[in-house]
Amino acid sequence: MGALTIAFDTTIVGALALPWVFLIVHLFFFEDEERFTDLLSWVNQKGLQAIAGVLLFAMAFTLGSAVSRIAQDFFNDDDLFLQLGPHLLRAGTTEDHILASVYCDADENQLLRSDPSNALLSARITDFQQQKPACRFAMIWMGRLRYSRKNDHLADAARDVFGLQENALLLKGEDATLRLRQLHDQIMVLRGSTFDGMIAFAFCLYAWGLRARRERPRSLARVLLACVPAVFLLLAADAFVHHYEDRFVSEPPYMEFSLLIVGLAGGWLLWLPRRRAPRAGGPESRLNWRWGMLSLVFAVLFTAGFLGWWSTEVLYGHQVIYSYDAQLPAPAAAASH
């Protein structure tokens, strides 16, 4: 059952990637769009719907597997930052630092209890508690995007405690961890769908810029939209530099690669001369604004997905702490009362 759940979640993420896959086909291979209609007609004529469904499921699962893995690294990569004296300015919220903030709150409320039967976990909790002064910096960063190198050690310690507690709970069996598995599946879907929304949002902006390039090449909208690929390329360059400074081999540069590809695709569409643009029906001005509205829709979906993933990460961290504490024996002081 667990394997089927993972396959279902992965397939959902792959299916949600279809909008930006269609956008890529529309923008880069617009001359071959009519072949999709011909292919569907051929499948119906030959009665190959079942085979086509299996192939479509396999493609969605493969695409979802790749997107899920990239999204996991994308939302837990802290290579985007600027050095400002002794502090760092980071844009974004990573999974490790969300967990660090959750465990800081739990330690403040005295919910991090050592397990006498698990010496390794007890040692990791002690190590985390020795870094309690860094919790204040973590909370400042969460509110004001102010960051210190102390957070790296704090996040590593929190991740170790969380990993040991989570795996100890998962060994209890599927029935005892149903709530945890549901939250974990939600995180996977929200994280992957948020990444899909970001890619779709970027390519909608590119389509909007391509349309503005044809209609109003000297307009302010055209200039602003032409800057979008440069933003992705600058972010990719900054992340690549910091990635190869800190961890050259230990972690693949998934986030950096994604930003680079999206930026290069936008540059090819909006900067290089083009002989012809994708065909489209209807008035040009109406279609131009439709791309803008579609960009707004994906921007809202991306923001909603990101906030949903953030809140679910917090809830999942709290649930792991509460579930682990609940299966420990009661403290001696509480038992005496």
Sequence spans of domains, the chain: 2-74+189-309, 93-182+315-328
Beta-sheet strands, E only, within 37-169: 81-84, 87-90, 146-147
112: left (phi over 0), alpha (psi -120 to 50) or beta: beta
pLDDT of residue 303: 94
pLDDT of residue 333: 46
Q: Are 165 and 318 in contact (CB under 8 A)?
A: no
The H or E element that residue 166 is part of is helix 150-170
**Higher-pLDDT residue of 221, 274:** 221
Name the band, by pLDDT with cuts 50, 70 and 90, for residue 9: confident
Quick check: 288 pLDDT over 70? no
Name the band, by pLDDT with cuts 50, 70 and 90, for residue 232: very high
CB burial class (10 A; 0-12, 13-18, 19+) of residue 43? middle
Q: How far apart are CA 23 and CA 14, in angstroms?
A: 15
**Per-residue pLDDT tens for 83-135?**
555 555 565 578 888 888 899 888 888 888 888 888 888 898 888 888 766 67
Quick check: 337 pLDDT over 50? no
When pLDDT is averaged across residues 254-261 and rounded to a whole number, the result is: 91
pLDDT of residue 164: 92
What pTM, to 2 d.p., does this model score?
Answer: 0.82
The helix/strand/coil state of 72 is helix
Closest C-alpha to 306, from 36, 85, 134, 94 = 94
Residue 53 neighbours by CB under 8 Å, 6+ apart: none
When pLDDT is averaged across residues 7-32 and rounded to a whole number, the result is: 83
**Per-residue pLDDT tens for 24-54?**
888 887 655 556 566 566 556 666 666 766 7
| Number of other CB atoms surrounding residue 88 within 10 Å | 19
